[in-house]
Each structure stands twice: as C-alpha cells, then as structure tokens.
Amino acid sequence: MQSQKKYYIQFITVCIGALIFSYGLSQIPNRYFSTNHFWIPTIFFALSTLGVNALLTKGDKQSKEFVFKTLAMSMARLLVCMIFVFVYSLINKPQALAFTCHFMIQYLIFTVFEISFLLKYIKQAN
C-alpha cells in the first residue's frame, strides 16, 4: 500500500512537471514549440502510463510472460503514439510540427518514468 501511494505521488509529480515544462516550451516563439495544444500529450501519456502499469503489474513478475508482456505493451504504446500523432497532423496541419515536438518530449519523460517504475517493481519481486 505504501509503495502504491508513493507511485501515485511520483506519477502526479511527473505529470505536473511535464505539463509545466511543455507549457514553458510552448511560450517560445518558434515553429518547433509554439502551440496551443501542449497539454494534449500530457493527458495522453498520463492515461496510457496508468493503463500500461495497471496491466503489467497484474500477474506474476518473475515469469517469462512478464518480459513478453512488457515488450508487447511498449510496442503497442509506440504504435498508438504514432497513430495519434498522424491523426493530429491530418487534423491540424499548421501546428503539427510543434505538437509532434511536444509529443516526443512527453514520450521520453513518461517512458523514463515507466521504465524506472518497472525496474523498481521487478527488484521488489526479487
């Protein structure tokens, strides 16, 4: 219970930090970061990170199945991310480059958080 509470505190901190960072970048007046939709990637990755971690933390941690589930979830998440950015770029072409830059930065932030969480999770099992 204590580790779950700690996870959610860290998760909320990462979400708020990523949102503030993305907002700060959106205030830079250039074509790579200036967008009004800087908050969409944060919500997307917050929801996907919660979903992926909920699916991965259910079940046995030490089986080979856990490794395959982790790899499959990472690949599925990457595919969904690419589709999401593609659809956004079709809908809003003028801000597509800035949105993609924000999206990739958020992807890196949340991926580092998720991997660090999974490493701690596996270490607790051993």
pLDDT score of 103: 95
Q: How many domains does the chain have?
A: 1
Residue 16's domain spans which residues?
A: 2-125
Query: Is the CB of residue 22 less than 8 Å from the CB of residue 41?
Result: yes
Average pLDDT over residues 92-115: 92
pLDDT of residue 125: 63
More confident residue, 121 or 9: 9
Distances in Å between the Cα of 7 and the Cα atoms of 63, 75, 97 are: 23, 23, 33
Dump pLDDT digits (tens) for 22-67: 999 999 888 888 888 899 999 999 999 888 888 877 766 666 777 7
Distance CA 55, CA 50 (A): 9
Question: Is the overall model pTM greater than 0.75, yes or no?
Answer: yes
Measured distance CA(52)–CA(97) in Å, rounded: 27
**Given pLDDT bands bounded at 50, 70 and 90, which one contains residue 116?**
confident
